[in-house]
Amino acid sequence: MNKPIEFYFDFSSPYGYLASTQIDALANRFDRTVIWRPFLVGASFKLTGRKPLLEVPLVRDYMAHDVERFARFLEIPFSLPEKFPIAAIAASRGFYWLAEQDPDLAISFAKRVYHAYFAKHQDITSSEALADLASSLQIDRDQWIVAVKSQAIKDRFREENDRALERGVFGSPFFIIGDEAFWGADRLPQVEQWLSRDGW
Amino acid sequence: MNKPIEFYFDFSSPYGYLASTQIDALANRFDRTVIWRPFLVGASFKLTGRKPLLEVPLVRDYMAHDVERFARFLEIPFSLPEKFPIAAIAASRGFYWLAEQDPDLAISFAKRVYHAYFAKHQDITSSEALADLASSLQIDRDQWIVAVKSQAIKDRFREENDRALERGVFGSPFFIIGDEAFWGADRLPQVEQWLSRDGW
């Protein structure tokens, strides 16, 4: 049985977005499933004392250029939104609510959220904007709005974040295959080699 | 005239070492020269407020594993020295002294320093240890010891560090091709594509 690729990402992470456009095709080439796991990378910053790279002098200018160049390299639409970063709590909760019913639908939703934010600069934080995105996938709008605010899904998302920290996930994107962890969209070539050779 | 690759690295940087084993072959494939520029990445930490990644909780454990895995991927000898990180001031000064006379000899010296530290866990901070490495390249031991302590070479190295900061170099390795900057050993595949396509 091939181990799945666990794909941790923050909806506010540009490099997470880049990886989200690549991970399914990569997994398919090696007959792997991908378990998508949105989380809030900010929670790890308390433990690590780090800041978002796009708030760090010198690094900020480089990163803004690097991520746009990386997107052009992958030939995907991207530019850094004016309103950045954002807290993607509601989108993440909605994702887990969907995933409990239909994991593939949840992944389609995640892709629409990322595309809306990084390709079209749409809001992905308000309940209304997210309900619109959900509706476009034939998800019931009223059910959605109730579900995302439920205590059950808030608890579920908190557990996911706690579990991510316990597992040492401190950046987005972050990939775990069995016991092997890879951090960063730039590690995708090594993830591919890892699957191809079954490690090295 | 093909633009050279300016290769910034800190002798104490494991990812700089990884890149140092790859950059010449890569440049040769595209008929480029490489200008090796040792610097002290620590100077940028004052500006950025960052810490060496191997001192950051959570990140530290990941990085120690990542860099060893990356070295195995490249099939080069590497393990993290017990005495790490170190201040590679004398080695860097010696490099620039050699480079003024014979750039190729300076590069050979840099490769020996990196190999001594990351493949063999030898000291690369003391004058004696560095003089031994220099001697192995038929560099006059007494001249070397005098030169590395001279005010002229101290000034030269300070200028190199100031210039690196002015150019926004904040990590090791760091590559500059014309106006284009790439940070990290993991950007080498993009550096290669950049040279192959003349940008994108």
Q: Do B58 and A44 touch (CB under 8 A)?
A: yes
Q: Give pLDDT tens digits for B23-45.
A: 999 999 999 999 999 999 998 88
Instruction: List CB contacts of A102: < 8 A, sequence separation 6 or more.
Output: none
List the structure tokens of A137. Answer: 């996938």
> What pTM was estimated for this model as a whole?
0.95
Instruction: List CB contacts of A107: < 8 A, sequence separation 6 or more.
Output: A24, A34, A36
pLDDT at A97 over 90: yes
Question: What CATH number labels A5-197?
Answer: 3.40.30.10
CB contacts of B66 in chain A (<8 Å) are 182-183
B46 CB within 8 Å of a chain A CB: no
Option in B51, B168, B193 nearest A58 (CB):
B168
Q: Give pLDDT tens digits for B141-174.
A: 999 999 999 999 999 999 999 999 999 999 999 9
Q: Do B59 and A50 touch (CB under 8 A)?
A: yes
pLDDT on residue B162: 96
Strands B34-38 vs B5-9: parallel, antiparallel or unpaired:
parallel
Q: Do A184 and B189 touch (CB under 8 A)?
A: no
Contact A105, A140 (CB under 8 A): no
B76 CB within 8 Å of a chain A CB: no
Cα–Cα distance between A13 and A67 in angstroms, integer?
10
For all residues of chain A together, what is the average pLDDT?
Answer: 95
Contact B164, B176 (CB under 8 A): no
Amino acid at A171: G
Decide: helix, strand or coil at residue A140: coil
CB atoms within 10 A of CB B18: 25
Determine the residue among A47, A60, A69 to mutate to test chain B binding: the one whose Cβ has the most chain B Cβ atoms within 10 Å.
A69
Q: Which residue of A has its CA nearest to B182?
A: A66
What are the structural domain ranges in chain A?
Answer: 5-197
pLDDT on residue A95: 98
Query: For residue B70, which phi and psi values (nearest 5 degrees)?
Result: -65, -40
Shortest CA gap A101–chain B (Å): 33
Q: Which residue of B has its CA nearest to A44?
A: B58
pLDDT at A53 over 80: no
User: ipTM above 0.85?
Assistant: yes
> CA angle, B21 as apex, B54 and B180 as ends, to 5°?
80
